Chains A and B, each alone.
Chain A
């Protein structure tokens, strides 16, 4: 075990991309402003100088065309990393992702798998208002043929891209906007991360918090507050949103018998709804209390800070929900 390196999430993602470019000549990065500008979140800064324009490829504002071109390049034997600046703009490429990337393998009877990786930033929290603050992970997680992951830790941010590229299937990688500046320890574990499988981030006995992405850190903050009341929360970081790892969630529920799902998506038709239903189907008799959800309020994200904070599943709302749930169960 070497001593962990303290780096930002942004740097971890960048190291992941750089490592992939170094390891495999078939890998290239393309997207809007990934080269000269250095990436809209400065993730790819310096990579153009190191790898050149062929492999760090700036694209016009043509999301549908360049995402589709990434899919085609994958069919043609390359291993593209396509960066769509944010999930908000990925809606312009939704047709290519859902109708082409997700279906070709199946429609061709298995002849044409699509090994493309599509990265995009996601989430709210920076007062960017309704069109720049979406969390639409559930839309992609709905679609068979796609694999969907969301690294929430430094190790996952560093390591998941490598395993995503090794997958023969299209992988959507979500990077929470609010985590790019987060600092943390990069450990040896980054070299061994898996694409699939949830992870117990914090062990506890009183309640299970199931979450993913930026909400992991909201849950960690909430767990610290709850610990002062003697409430010991277990936190499950889903990591992979499709496929979902039911076993890890259910094992935790069997242990704590109470569950709160924390999801930055809107509640209606959310990942939280799917997870809750799976728990009901497979672990109903392990529950001592109704399943609770803390999701984003059903409103497009407003610009002013106090309203944005109120809309998001913040620490305070998580703490209140857990307290109410435990009171209910007593």
Chain B
């Protein structure tokens, strides 16, 4: 673990930690709510991977577009999707950010240009290429950022999308969250070349491997990548090396990995890492930390209250939203 950069500001540190804590506390609460039956279906939590969502979102502007997977609560929160409507979505309520139709795997939010929550592995990559194409053709400086797991690198979509984005020099950020497992399949059991970022060379895509447990490293790498893409120099692949501290989903007995391995990674968790650094640098006290925690818990509690008080969509509306209700201008 490296120290903090010279002149690193307390406010900056607290901001990053606050964002990661919001995600962690939200996810913890989701696990409880799943046990209690309020959240149903598949639930994939992102504990351990918070630094990637938070680090990347720091460098994106309101005009940029985001595409994500079924493990997207952290991305949505860091992007600024309001926590109440996010929780209401997980409950399946009409006030949810996707109108309750999508649930945990399908978070959408037009206001923040959050294009979902795709639950087909690799399914989001071509979409991000298209969003990048739209920005380029419209002549903006916006980028599209696509989050996906390392498992997706085995799908054709990954390879086809990288090629297309490079061929057309599109402003696309491919952010691979390499947490070493795709469900129960370890990376070495699924890839002949386990160094994901080197695959980019075959498509002439700029790439880097990043310590995904270090929010500052993530932010720095994302800043450089976004500058590259905004300048019209083409797509970038960032391989964020990380670890999922929880099970794949709520149905996973985790027979494929050692508890010791999980504990080893837990010590390197992004919240632990930043907390330790801030304290060591004298930028944060335990009281400061507790205050952040209370703040996050209060926000989560309010979100749960919002979600549970929200109404169910009437069954008469079942056939809504199959087709657009307004004509797109």
Which residue of the partner chain, among A33, A61, A130, contacts B152 with CB atoms under 8 Å? A61
Once the chains are docked, how many angstroms separate the CA of A32 from the CA of B121?
12
Once the chains are docked, how many angstroms separate the CA of A33 from the CA of B255?
12
Are B120 and A131 in touch, CB under 8 angstroms?
yes
1/0 contact string of B140-164 vs chain A (CB within 8 Å): 0000000000011011100000000
Within 8 Å of chain B (Cβ to Cβ): is A58?
A: yes
Considering only residues 186-204 of chain B, those with a C-beta below 8 Å from chain A are 186, 189-191
Which residue of the partner chain, among B42, B102, B154, B315, contacts A60 with CB atoms under 8 Å? B154
A130-B106, A303-B92 known; A297-B318 Cβ under 8 A = yes
Within 8 Å of chain A (Cβ to Cβ): is B100?
A: yes
Chain A nearest Cβ from B40, distance in angstroms:
4
1/0 contact string of A44-63 vs chain B (CB within 8 Å): 00000000000000111111
Which residue of the partner chain, among A40, A127, A298, A304, contacts B322 with CB atoms under 8 Å? A298
- B residues near A307, Cβ cutoff 8 Å: 92, 101, 313, 315, 318
1/0 contact string of A92-113 vs chain B (CB within 8 Å): 1000000000000000000000
Are B319 and A297 in touch, CB under 8 angstroms?
yes
Chain B nearest Cβ from A89, distance in angstroms:
7
Within 8 Å of chain A (Cβ to Cβ): is B185?
A: yes
Within 8 Å of chain A (Cβ to Cβ): is B122?
A: yes
Are B315 and A129 in touch, CB under 8 angstroms?
no
1/0 contact string of A26-40 vs chain B (CB within 8 Å): 000000110011101
Once the chains are docked, how many angstroms separate the CA of A305 from the CA of B318?
12
Within 8 Å of chain A (Cβ to Cβ): is B105?
A: yes
Are B103 and A299 in touch, CB under 8 angstroms?
no
Are A61 and B120 in touch, CB under 8 angstroms?
no
Within 8 Å of chain A (Cβ to Cβ): is B14?
A: no
Chain A nearest Cβ from B11, distance in angstroms:
39
Which residue of the partner chain, among A37, A61, A132, A304, contacts B154 with CB atoms under 8 Å? A61
A33-B183, A60-B154, A130-B102 known; A88-B255 Cβ under 8 A = no
- B residues near A129, Cβ cutoff 8 Å: 41, 101-103, 105-106, 119
**B123 — nearest CB in chain A belongs to which residue?**
A131
- A residues near B168, Cβ cutoff 8 Å: none
Are A311 and B42 in touch, CB under 8 angstroms?
no
- A residues near B42, Cβ cutoff 8 Å: 128, 132
- A residues near B256, Cβ cutoff 8 Å: 36-37
Which residue of the partner chain, among A58, A64, A305, contacts B185 with CB atoms under 8 Å? A58
Within 8 Å of chain B (Cβ to Cβ): is A328?
A: no
A61-B154, A88-B120, A310-B315 known; A304-B100 Cβ under 8 A = yes
**A40 — nearest CB in chain B belongs to which residue?**
B183
- B residues near A243, Cβ cutoff 8 Å: none
Once the chains are docked, how many angstroms separate the CA of A29 from the CA of B182?
19
Chain A contributes a number of interface residues (CB within 8 A of B) equal to 36
- B residues near A304, Cβ cutoff 8 Å: 92-93, 100-101, 103, 312-313
1/0 contact string of B266-281 vs chain A (CB within 8 Å): 0000000000000000
1/0 contact string of A288-330 vs chain B (CB within 8 Å): 0000000001111011111100110000000000000000000
Within 8 Å of chain A (Cβ to Cβ): is B184?
A: yes
Are B106 and A127 in touch, CB under 8 angstroms?
no
Within 8 Å of chain B (Cβ to Cβ): is A126?
A: yes
Question: Interface size bucket, B side?
Answer: 35 or more
**A91 — nearest CB in chain B belongs to which residue?**
B120
A32-B183, A37-B255, A89-B120 known; A61-B151 Cβ under 8 A = yes
Which residue of the partner chain, among B119, B184, B189, contacts A131 with CB atoms under 8 Å? B119
Are A61 and B122 in touch, CB under 8 angstroms?
yes
Are A36 and B103 in touch, CB under 8 angstroms?
no
- A residues near B152, Cβ cutoff 8 Å: 61
- A residues near B242, Cβ cutoff 8 Å: none
Within 8 Å of chain A (Cβ to Cβ): is B118?
A: yes
Once the chains are docked, how many angstroms separate the CA of A303 from the CA of B89?
9
- B residues near A300, Cβ cutoff 8 Å: 322
Once the chains are docked, how many angstroms separate the CA of A38 from the CA of B118?
25
**B41 — nearest CB in chain A belongs to which residue?**
A127
- A residues near B154, Cβ cutoff 8 Å: 60-62
Once the chains are docked, how many angstroms separate the CA of A126 from the CA of B315?
18
**B101 — nearest CB in chain A belongs to which residue?**
A302
Considering only residues 272-329 of chain B, those with a C-beta below 8 Å from chain A are 312-313, 315, 318-319, 322
Once the chains are docked, how many angstroms separate the CA of A88 from the CA of B255?
25
**B322 — nearest CB in chain A belongs to which residue?**
A299
- B residues near A37, Cβ cutoff 8 Å: 183-185, 255-256
A62-B156, A129-B106, A303-B100 known; A33-B185 Cβ under 8 A = yes
Chain B nearest Cβ from A305, distance in angstroms:
7
Once the chains are docked, how many angstroms separate the CA of A132 from the CA of B106?
11
Are A61 and B121 in touch, CB under 8 angstroms?
yes
Are A61 and B41 in touch, CB under 8 angstroms?
no
A60-B185, A129-B101, A304-B100 known; A36-B312 Cβ under 8 A = no
Most chain A Cβ neighbours within 10 Å, of B118, B185, B191 = B185
1/0 contact string of A163-180 vs chain B (CB within 8 Å): 000000000000000000
- A residues near B190, Cβ cutoff 8 Å: 58-61
- A residues near B100, Cβ cutoff 8 Å: 302-304
A-B contact pairs, 24 of them (CB 8 A): A36-B184, A36-B189, A36-B256, A37-B183, A37-B255, A59-B190, A60-B182, A61-B151, A61-B182, A62-B156, A89-B121, A126-B41, A127-B40, A128-B105, A129-B41, A129-B103, A129-B106, A132-B42, A299-B319, A299-B322, A302-B100, A304-B93, A304-B100, A307-B92
Sorted nearest first, the 7 A-B pairs with minimum C-beta distance are: A37-B184, A304-B92, A303-B103, A60-B154, A60-B190, A127-B41, A127-B40
18 further A-B contacts with Cβ under 8 Å, apart from A32-B182, A60-B190, are A32-B183, A38-B184, A58-B190, A59-B190, A61-B151, A61-B190, A65-B156, A126-B41, A128-B42, A129-B119, A131-B105, A131-B106, A132-B41, A299-B322, A304-B93, A304-B103, A307-B315, A307-B318
